[in-house]
């Protein structure tokens, strides 16, 4: 597994595991826990979750999955915007810590911007750091204007939507983050609903390499410096496919073909969210 180094020197895998929609169906819990554990064994030791996912259900699933291997995992969670006040952040963090079964979150993110000033949320994050409740903090779904307003060199990452169908960040936000040495964490890197992985161009590039369409989509995002991806899967076969995507290198011809199918942005675009 390839790695990426954060600003503080911490090394994380470029392919992690997402957990959106986990913890919503009790009948799936054992499969979800098993999938996360298998992903950890395959080197996808970065696990991303949020208090929003299943209203804490996903964090509980993650907590069970990492119970005997917490030290192997780089744990990411996110706080709701309506909890992102000076008083709300520490309360939300304590609830997440209990569900996750740990005393410290490796990276704690603002899920998206809400009613509270960014400076107030950052102040709360910094107090959590001082208290040893979180090791780093970052943001999610913040556009370029937001990031400039944030003006925080200690922000560890910006987690945003990024895949061949949604590449608006390439015009300005991604280059800005790269210039700051701030990694971008790509969520929904495989798209939504399966349309991306059925696209004839993705399928053709996969055929050329004897690979799976998901590997092509992930390798496409990982071609960018300082980008990591967090696909979600509960299938052992899909987990193996995802884990091996970092080994796939797309050729110049592959990338040109993908550019024709999914043109890069030629002007600023509003930041897309899901």
By annotation, the residues acting in catalysis are 53
The 10 Å Cβ neighbour count of residue 163 is: 21
Alpha-carbon distance 13 to 15, whole Å? Answer: 5
Q: Which residue has the tokens 């998901």?
A: 214
| The residue to which tokens 């009948």 are assigned | 27
- The dihedral of CA 256, 258, 262, 264: what is its sign? negative
**Quick one: 252 exposed, middle or buried, by C-beta within 10 A (0-12, 13-18, 19+)?**
exposed
Please identify which residue in the block is written with the tokens 């979750």.
49
8 Å CB contact between 156 and 107: yes
Q: What's the CA gap between 41 and 234, in Å, rounded?
A: 14
Partnered with residue 15 across adjacent β-strands are 229
User: What angle, 0 to 180 degrees and rounded to 10, lies between the N-to-C axes of helices 236-243 and 29-41?
Assistant: 30
Residue 217, CA distances (Å) to 116, 166, 241 in order: 35, 12, 11
Dihedrals φ, ψ of 18, to 5°?
-90, 165
How many whole angstroms from its chain centre is CA 268?
23
- Nearby residues of 38 by Cβ (< 8 Å), 6 or more positions away: 236, 239
């Amino acid at each position: 597994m390839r790695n990426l180094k954060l600003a503080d020197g911490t090394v994380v895998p470029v392919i992690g595991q997402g957990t959106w929609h986990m913890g919503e169906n009790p009948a799936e819990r054992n499969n979800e826990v098993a999938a996360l554990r298998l992903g950890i064994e395959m080197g996808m030791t970065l696990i991303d979750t949020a208090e929003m996912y299943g209203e804490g259900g996903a964090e509980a699933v993650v907590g069970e999955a990492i119970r005997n291997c917490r030290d192997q995992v780089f744990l990411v969670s996110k706080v709701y915007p309506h909890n992102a006040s000076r008083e709300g952040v520490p309360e939300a963090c304590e609830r997440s810590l209990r569900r996750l079964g740990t005393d410290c979150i490796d990276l704690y993110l603002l899920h998206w911007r809400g009613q509270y000033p960014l400076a107030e949320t950052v102040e709360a994050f910094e107090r959590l750091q001082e208290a040893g409740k979180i090791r780093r903090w970052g943001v999610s779904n913040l556009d370029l204007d937001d990031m400039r307003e944030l003006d925080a060199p200690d922000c560890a990452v910006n987690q945003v939507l990024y895949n061949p169908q949604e590449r608006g960040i390439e015009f300005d936000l991604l280059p800005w983050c790269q210039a700051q040495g701030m990694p971008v964490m790509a969520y929904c890197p495989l798209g939504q609903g399966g349309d991306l992985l059925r696209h004839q161009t993705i399928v053709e590039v996969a055929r050329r390499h004897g690979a799976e369409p998901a590997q092509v989509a992930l390798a496409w995002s990982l071609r960018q410096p300082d980008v990591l991806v967090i696909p979600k899967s509960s299938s052992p076969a899909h987990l193996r496919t995802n884990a091996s995507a970092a080994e796939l290198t797309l050729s110049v011809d592959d990338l040109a073909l993908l550019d024709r199918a999914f043109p890069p942005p030629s002007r600023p675009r509003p930041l897309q969210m899901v």
